[in-house]
Amino acid sequence: MALINRFSRLFRADLHAVLDRIEEPTILLKQAVREMEDDVVQDERNLKILAHELEQIPILEEEIEKTLNELQKEIELCLDSDNEKLARSVIKRKLECQQRAKRLRVKSDTLEKEVAGLAGRLENNRGRLSAMQQKLEILEEDKSNSMQQASVCDVDVTISDDDIEVALLKEKQARTSS
């Protein structure tokens, strides 16, 4: 059993090595950079949406406060006119409005936490994206430099026997003169 496990691990390792040689690192890095850029754009969009929702909450709270004040006046009017049935109806609306205000405060707290978390994650992703872009630039520079060096060395040069003989004579002459 152990022998079979060792062979399977060896086969997988060889397969991974072949795949690593086949894959082009710059292409993989470019794809990773594109995906990170998409993630950053999506996070920025989500952050704007959450920030907009958070900006709307004080406006809604103000509207609820005005409604509560109006309902309180209506309750007082109903009680002054001894109309308890109508007062109960208005009190129910007031309680519902107070419930909305509580939910709005909870939503505000939740949104603030989400905005803070998303802003932190976005800043972290931007830093990682910048680092990956720098790595990509370095890798592309190295690749272009190696291609330039390879192109200089890869030029087909033909050397004739006469060229070799002339070089040999020059070497001998340089040796005897020194």
Give the DSSP per-residue string, 110-166. Answer: HHHHHHHHHHHHHHHHHHHHHHHHHHHHHHHHHHHHHHHHHHHHTS-----HHHHHH
| Distance in angstroms (rounded) separating the CA atoms of residues 100 and 57 | 12
Is 89 domain-assigned?
yes
| Distance in angstroms (rounded) separating the CA atoms of residues 90 and 158 | 103
How many CB atoms within 10 Å of residue 37?
Answer: 14
Which residue from 31, 54, 68 is spatially nearest to 107, judged by alpha carbons? 54
pLDDT of residue 13: 65
| Distance in angstroms (rounded) separating the CA atoms of residues 7 and 1 | 10
Is 135 domain-assigned?
no
pLDDT (tens digit, 9 = 90+) per residue, 57-96?
A: 999 999 999 999 999 999 999 999 999 899 999 999 999 9
Q: What is the pTM of this model?
A: 0.59
pLDDT of residue 57: 94
The encoded tokens of residue 105 equal 């405060």
Is 111 domain-assigned?
yes
Domain span including residue 105: 36-127
pLDDT (tens digit, 9 = 90+) per residue, 10-41?
A: 667 665 665 555 557 777 778 888 888 999 99
Is 108 domain-assigned?
yes
Is 174 domain-assigned?
no
pLDDT (tens digit, 9 = 90+) per residue, 42-56?
A: 999 999 999 999 999
Is 114 domain-assigned?
yes
| Distance in angstroms (rounded) separating the CA atoms of residues 30 and 9 | 30
**pLDDT average, residue stretch 155-174:** 78
Is 27 domain-assigned?
no
Amino acid at 131: A
The encoded tokens of residue 156 equal 């087909």
What's the CATH code of the domain at 123? 1.10.287
Domain total of the chain:
1
| Distance in angstroms (rounded) separating the CA atoms of residues 28 and 136 | 10
Residue 111 contacts residue 43 (beta carbons within 8 Å): no
Is 166 domain-assigned?
no
Residue 141 contacts residue 29 (beta carbons within 8 Å): no
